[in-house]
Structure 1
Amino acid sequence: MISFLVSIAVLILGYVFYASFLEKVFGIDRNRPTPAMSMTDDVDFVPLPAWKIFMIQFLNIAGLGPIFGAIAGAMFGPSAFLWIVLGSIFAGAAHDYFSGMLSLRHDGLSISEVVGIYLGPWIKQLMRVFTVVLLIFVGTVFVMGPAKIIDGMTAGAFSVWIWVLIIFGYYFLSTLLPIDKLISRLYPLFGLAMFLMTAGLMIVLFTDDYHIPEITMANLRNMTADPEETPLFPILFVTIACGAISGFHATQSPLMARCIRSEKAGKGIFSGAMITEGVVALVWAAVSMVFFSDVSGLNEAMATHDNNTAWAANEISRNMLGGVGGILALIGIVAAPITSGDTAFRSCRLILADIFKMDQRKLVKRLYLSIPLFVIAFVLTQVDFGILWRYFAWSNQTLAVVVLWTITAYLIFQDKPAWVTYIPAVFMTAVSTTYILIAPEGFELPNNYAYGGGFLATTLVVILFQAYIRKYKNIIVKTVQS
């Protein structure tokens, strides 16, 4: 229990001190007009209260990650606590804050366009395709996930496909309607469900006879059933993504950058939402380690149920929180993916609008961009959910890598302390490259070969990045200043 409490305290202190340091590094300008104020269009560029933007950002980035990812990550043992805390503060908070603020400074541009400014046109074209594909994956995954959960909650009263169509209908409306007409009105209610769920689980942890494993040298090992098949590095760092660092967050931040009234609100919205998500992930990792008696019991239960994290979340909610509490928790579990799926499609529409320079004031233009996205997503619902999720996991962290290198380039160009993202960029590059070499959906190389390949790939990326900086620093700085 002590390690768990200390972990929460460190997350809070990380927000108070390190997030404030990141704000100083960026250098906010309270008097600078934000896109919401200077480019208001009553559709996407809409000034909103900071608390509403925080709620939207938190739910946008949360999804199933801090729940399902934390359950799967808990199978590794207390090492998950360390990654959630250190990842959220030193990687996730920095990634989310700077990606959001850079969008804010560049008229609310989508992340692919921001990447193009600092890493060049070739990377921009690649990122345009990459982010659109990723967001369609996210939207599809977050249709099937909640549809199956609701089907389970209703004891199969309707077909799963009925719920799929209902969720698609909501996604279609939330993608098309002005952000203040549907999303900003529903999200506070969804957010309340998430917070009640998390608070309820914490109360049960503190009041019942649960013994959360401590972070000790003996416990900082791979506790999965087959450590050789699931090595702690890099698997843990991809498994727990949204609860530590996730590239998907950078696709969501521009939505909020178009609604912020003052740069001062950026810390609370971007870093604050990430740290809050870290707390949620910590709670779910802790309850997963104790609900099934211990980490070994969790691994055995997951093996019996084909590593079905949705089943585990359902069991934990119903049994730990009882009838009413369990229903609230399940509402939170359903709300989490739905509030990421809807904005995944919305941000995909905005990326395409940025690419084609298409004004979004007219509904017909929003329809032109949105209808093909939903057709593709519906086709993808026929693909096995597990396959989509595995590829999303790797592509998600790869996007985080590109965004971290983009922020690092920006900081170097501005003569600011670049180490705040340089170190996470190197680490996450090693994670992402090693993972694709070792994972079943990748090259399935033996561990030693994958580690060697990951090291060489990371070294090559660092060398190429440094060469790019030396060659283009003056050009990029002059372009941005003009």
Structure 2
Amino acid sequence: MNSLFLALIGVGMIAAGFAFYSKFLASRVFKLSDEYVTPAHTMEDGVDFVPTNKYVLWGHHFTSVAGAAPIIGPAVAIIWGWLPAFLWVTLGTVFFAGMHDFGALWASLRHRGQSIGTLSGRYIGTRGRNLFLVVIFLLLLMVNAAFATVISRLLVSTPTAVIPTWGAILVALCVGQAIYRFKWSLPVVSVVGVVALYSLMLLGERFPISLPETVWGIPANAVWILALFIYAFCASLLPVWVLLQPRDYINGLQLFIGLIILYASILITHPEVVAPAVNHNVPDGTPGMFPLLFVTVACGAISGFHGIVSSGTSSKQLDKETDARFVGYFGAVGEGLLALGTIIATSAGFKTLANWEEVYSEWSAGGVGAFISGGGSIINEGLGLPVSLAATVLATMAILFAATTMDSSVRLQRLVIEEIAQLLGFRVTGLVATIITVVLALLLTFSSGADGSGGMLLWPVFGTTNQLMAALSLSVMAVILIRLRRPSLPIVIPLVFVTVVSLGSAFILLGTLWQARNWLLLGIDAAIITATIWVIVEALVAIGRARNAPALVFDDQPSDPAPVA
């Protein structure tokens, strides 16, 4: 199989999904209207609710949802062969991820920017909402701790990525001022920002920065973790336009250019795919492909975390409702293209099958390292970039994806804590909520020692929790559409599929944890399964009620953007 053929088919399928299926969703299912005044205008506060250019907001949304997961997941899952991962990424992007992200954004938009967890209380019930918020809280905690650990390890292993990683923050601050304070032309700001970021990569390649093994007795990766949480703390509290939004936008452009570089290299060299289409010779200890493929390749096909971002930050910044198609669906397209590029890099970036099998000698041996190695080789041959520079570009890409997801996740957890406090009848300031968020993440990260390995403690249950979260979000959207008397099958079919495979994976993991005597993760996994089943049952009851309830009507007047029955 030639990798060019694989790339053309995959990109063509995903592009067709945006051109046709997203248009169907926009006109027939969600019925977007420019007459509707969005919460960014009716509730504008200059901090969280800020009307934003759709291209800038797309950059925020794309980089917030992407993270390292669309690299890690496909790079691990390819151990079962490239074909299953390819099919799930392409079909998942078109019919699952795009619809899920778009739908969660629209649902929140029509309810004063409320999170999908809060909406569950309105459409499913109080008990369902409470359990829903518990799952969201745990998922965000996992993301905050795990991504800090992943980024710190990459900064230690790839010192050439240190300068561009931290320099991107300064670039973002300048971009925010240029767009909002000085009113510069967006194309000019974009070009200058991207040039600055790639210049930082060249600078990082020339001047790599490595910390000593210990700094005042603290391991190097722990120093980076502390620095990351200090940054995330500040980013969570600053107005979204000052740092978070411009950082995500300019990173989104840089990362998309990185994808263009990778795909251009594939176009030029079109290396042969050496990995098997379906691997019948998997290493000992590799679990069965079904249903684990569908939780291993989460981001890039469908991800519950995306619904939290869509309804947590993106919905509060949408200038016009019709922008939701570009921001939500096309944001998922960007992630699908990254996942597809990862599949090609890790299946065609090695010289021979023996080289590939050497890397994939055991279950979960793939990951960011395999992506950087395989993708760097393709870029080196295609564009002639030195291997070290190509590795720096891809490593920085992976770090910036993870970092923009982490800082958005900290902000999201701050908002969730504020919502939970409000539901309990008292008010928590943004500062206090952020302190709680960061302290909890740091406690988890360093729970296993000063090396920060505790950040990965809950990672084994991340995949199932993430997909179960997607099922819960889809259940809320299904109730809304049924109440509106609109087509619901585009939501219901993915809801049933994701629920079955994610619950199946969760039960398999439960058995694995029982055999390993890992009582902590066993208890957490059991609690998440129980909460999810409870919410799904409540959702099924709500769906039954919705069919007989009075039709829901959305009021498009700016004075009251909330729905009325």
Q: Structure 1 length normalisation: TM-score?
A: 0.89
Contact 2:131 2:535 in 1 (8 A): no
User: Pairwise mapping of residues 31-46 of structure 1 onto structure 2 (< 5 A)?
Assistant: 31-46=35-50
Q: 1:157 aligns with which of 208, 211, 215?
A: 211
Q: 2:12 aligns with which of 6, 9, 12?
A: 9
> Is 1:230 the counterpart of 2:291 in the alignment?
no
The verdict on how the C-alpha distance between 1:48 and 1:471 changes in structure 2, with shifts beyond 3 A counting, is closer
Q: Distance in 1 between matches of 2:144 and 2:511?
A: 20
Task: Report the more deviating stretch, 298-307 or 14-23.
Answer: 298-307
> Is 1:20 the counterpart of 2:23 in the alignment?
yes
User: Pairwise mapping of residues 127-276 of structure 1 onto structure 2 (< 5 A)?
Assistant: 127-154=132-159, 156-158=210-212, 159-208=220-269, 210-212=271-273, 221-223=278-280, 225-226=282-283, 229-254=286-311, 255-276=313-334
Provide, for residues 178-197 of structure 1, a one-character-per-residue CA deviation record: whole Å limited to 9, x for no partner.
Answer: 10011122223322331232
Q: 1:88 aligns with which of 74, 86, 93?
A: 93
Q: Distance in 1 between matches of 2:511 and 2:147?
A: 20
Q: 2:388 aligns with which of 323, 327, 331?
A: 323
> How many residues are aligned here?
463
Provide, for residues 85-130 of structure 1, a one-character-per-residue CA deviation record: whole Å limited to 9, x for no partner.
Answer: 1111111111111111000000000110112222111110111121
Q: CA deviation at 1:308?
A: 5.1
Q: Distance in 1 between matches of 2:300 and 2:354?
A: 22
What residue number does 1:349 align with? 414
Q: Distance in 1 between matches of 2:285 and 2:150?
A: 29
Contact 1:288 1:316 in 2 (8 A): yes
The verdict on how the C-alpha distance between 1:119 and 1:476 changes in structure 2, with shifts beyond 3 A counting, is farther
Q: CA deviation at 1:440?
A: 6.4
Q: Partner of 1:14: helix, strand, or coil?
A: helix
Q: CA deviation at 1:302?
A: 3.1
The code of the aligned residue for 1:337 comes to A
What residue number does 1:287 align with? 345
Q: Distance in 2 between matches of 1:224 and 1:290?
A: 18
Q: Which runs of 5+ in 1 are unaligned?
A: 446-457
Q: CA deviation at 1:252?
A: 0.4
Q: CA deviation at 1:441?
A: 7.2
Contact 2:50 2:316 in 1 (8 A): yes
What residue number does 1:454 align with? none
Contact 1:320 1:326 in 2 (8 A): no
What residue number does 1:51 align with? 55
Identity of aligned residues (%): 27
Kindly name which structure, 1 or 2, has the bigger radius of gyration based on alpha carbons.
Answer: 2
Q: CA deviation at 1:467?
A: 4.1
Task: Report the more deviating stretch, 187-196 or 461-470.
Answer: 461-470
Q: 1:277 aligns with which of 327, 330, 335?
A: 335
Q: CA deviation at 1:233?
A: 1.1
Contact 1:118 1:476 in 2 (8 A): no
What residue number does 1:411 align with? 481
The code of the aligned residue for 2:484 comes to Q
The verdict on how the C-alpha distance between 1:459 and 1:327 changes in structure 2, with shifts beyond 3 A counting, is closer
Q: 1:68 aligns with which of 48, 60, 72?
A: 72
Q: CA deviation at 1:285?
A: 0.6
Q: Distance in 1 between matches of 2:402 and 2:44?
A: 29
Contact 1:390 1:441 in 2 (8 A): no
The verdict on how the C-alpha distance between 1:395 and 1:469 changes in structure 2, with shifts beyond 3 A counting, is same
Q: Distance in 1 between matches of 2:401 and 2:492?
A: 31
What residue number does 2:173 align with? none
What residue number does 2:184 align with? none
Q: Partner of 1:210: helix, strand, or coil?
A: coil
The verdict on how the C-alpha distance between 1:264 and 1:191 changes in structure 2, with shifts beyond 3 A counting, is same
Contact 1:75 1:223 in 2 (8 A): no
Provide, for residues 3-52 of structure 1, a one-character-per-residue CA deviation record: whole Å limited to 9, x for no partner.
Answer: 33111101000011001111111111211110000100111001111101
**Cα RMSD over matched residues?**
2.8
Q: Structure 2 length normalisation: TM-score?
A: 0.76
What residue number does 1:300 align with? 358
Q: Distance in 2 between matches of 1:402 and 1:107?
A: 20
